[in-house]
Amino acid sequence: MADLVRSTVEAMVPDLLMFMRKKVFTKKEIKDILKTRETFEYSFLRRTASKKDYLKAIQYEYQLELQRRDKFKTLKLKKQTRRDYSIIRRIIFIFDRLTDKYKSDVGLWKEYCLFCYKIKANKMFFKAVSNALTINWESLDIWLLAIYYHFEINKDPFKARKTFLKALKTNNKRKDFWLEYFRFELSFLEMIKKRKNVSGIEEEKAAQESKRKDSEESGNMEMFDDGDMEEEKPQSKKSANKDTKDLLNLDFVELEQEGLKSDKTDSLAVVVFESVVDQFPNDGKINSE
């Protein structure tokens, strides 16, 4: 045990010495950091180690990172190297050990994902979510973390919808999943409408100009025949009548393209709600929710 702790602590020295050279931490502060980390490492290896031990260590490292950032601002140190993120890597290392020990604790996974969100670590966030769902694939909260990270942070509602469909395929008997999906589609619909309001005028002008140029070049209006487009429209309408299982296999790329040009996203929200009602016909709470 002692050898393992010693090697772990010794590996921290180069990063801390760099902080000392930059005058971020003093020599005494570095000694205190090493001593505190050594104490935590011993506590992790004890049989009686608990979640509190790990969470205390994470809180200590987080406060240390806040001090480092304040010092960087005070000293006006703008250029940062890989070593400057050593405290962040330390926190992630502790979180990995904690969640590996308590794989089924959804609360811990949420704390891990929240930390990744705070530090804007996009890749680490989705890595944590992916690892969490490997064990906790029935957890709606973890699925929602990934879904709304795509939707609100990355501004990618289509990716968010794709992720939600994955969640539904593995939890298609869960009423809470379907109700959340219906709420999501309403939010999706609102976003599409806002985009149409903002870009509708510009798109209409561009389309009219394009048609005018094509008309002048060809002099033949047959090339504007919408026959092919009309043939594809019933496909979405037909999809709207499919049952819950088929709903998960809809071609949402086509629906997205058509929804940006018309009000078909409204009908999709209705399809989702009707699917929820069909899935849970004896549940009187659905209409109120």
Residue 19 has pLDDT above 60, yes or no: yes
In whole numbers, what is the pLDDT of the chain averaged over residues?
80
**Cβ–Cβ < 8 Å for 202, 182:** no
Do both 132 and 150 map to the same domain? Answer: no
pLDDT at residue 253 tops 50: no
The tens digit of pLDDT for each residue in 215-232 reads 655 554 443 344 443 444
Structurally, how many domains does the chain consist of?
Answer: 2
CB 163 within 8 A of CB 146: yes
Backbone φ and ψ for 105, nearest 5 degrees, come out as: -85, 100
pLDDT tens profile 160-188: 999 999 999 999 889 899 889 988 988 88
Residue 215 covered by a domain: no
Question: Judging by beta carbons within 10 Å of its beta carbon (0-12, 13-18, 19+), is residue 142 exposed, middle or buried?
Answer: buried
94 CB neighbour count, 10 Å cutoff: 21
pLDDT the model gives residue 147: 95
Within a domain: residue 54? Answer: yes
Reported as a pLDDT band with limits 50, 70 and 90, residue 1 is: confident
Least confident of 33-37, 177-181, 224-228, 245-249: 224-228
Is the C-alpha dihedral spanning 185, 190, 195, 196 positive or negative?
Answer: positive
1 compared with 243, residue with greater pLDDT:
1
* CA–CA distance, 158 with 150 (Å, rounded to integer): 8
pLDDT classification of 88: cutoffs 50, 70, 90 = very high
User: Do 128 and 163 fall within a single domain?
Assistant: no
Q: Is the domain of 83 the same as that of 150?
A: no
- Determine contact, residues 145/110, Cβ cutoff 8 Å: yes
In a domain? residue 226 = no
Across 54-68, 237-251, 274-288, the highest mean pLDDT is recorded for 54-68
**pLDDT 10s digits, 145-165:** 999 999 999 888 889 999 999
Dihedral (CA of 218, 221, 222, 226) sign: positive
Tell whether 29 is covered by a domain: yes
Last residue of a domain, one of 116, 136, 156: 136
268, part of any domain: yes
Residue from 187, 177, 165, 101 nearest 139 by CA: 177
Token pair recorded at residue 251:
């071609």
Task: Assign 209 to helix, strand or coil.
Answer: helix
Do residue 53 and residue 174 come from a single domain? no
To the question of pTM greater than 0.85 for the whole model, the response is no
Q: Pick the last residue of a domain from 95, 118, 136.
A: 136
Residue 193 has pLDDT above 60, yes or no: yes
DSSP sequence for 121-188? -HHHHHHHHHHHHHH-TT-HHHHHHHHHIIIIIS--HHHHHHHHHHHHHHSTT-HHHHHHHHHHHHHH
* 83 φ/ψ angles, rounded to the nearest 5 degrees: -65, -25
- Whether residue 283 is contained in a domain is answered as yes
Range of the domain at 174: 138-200+234-289
Are residues 148 and 131 both part of a single domain? no
Are 55 and 175 part of one and the same domain? Answer: no
- Same domain flag for 93 and 179: no
pLDDT at 190: 80
Q: Which residue has the higher pLDDT, 127 or 209?
A: 127
Mean pLDDT of 25-50: 94
Q: Are residues 145 and 284 in the same domain?
A: yes
Residues 111 and 50 placed together within one structural domain of the fold: yes
Task: Report the percent of the chain where pLDDT is more than 90.
Answer: 52
- Is residue 7 predicted with pLDDT exceeding 90? yes
Quote the Cα angle for 122-128-134, to 5°: 135
The set of residues, in sequence order, having a beta carbon less than 8 Å from that of 154 and lying 6+ positions away, is: 122
Could you tell me if 186 and 105 lie in one domain?
A: no
Same domain flag for 32 and 116: yes
Question: What pLDDT is recorded for position 237?
Answer: 43
* 228 part of a folded domain: no
> Do 93 and 166 belong together in one domain?
no
Is 273 inside any structural domain? yes
pLDDT of residue 51: 94
Q: Which of 7-16, 44-53, 183-192, 226-235 has the lowest mean pLDDT?
A: 226-235
Interval 129-144 mean pLDDT: 95
Q: What is the mean pLDDT of residues 101-129?
A: 94
pLDDT confidence of residue 172: 87
Tokens encoding 14: 């180069």
The mean per-residue pLDDT over the stretch 29-56 comes to 95
Q: Choose the final residue of a domain: 92, 121, 136.
A: 136
Tokens standing for 223? 């090339």
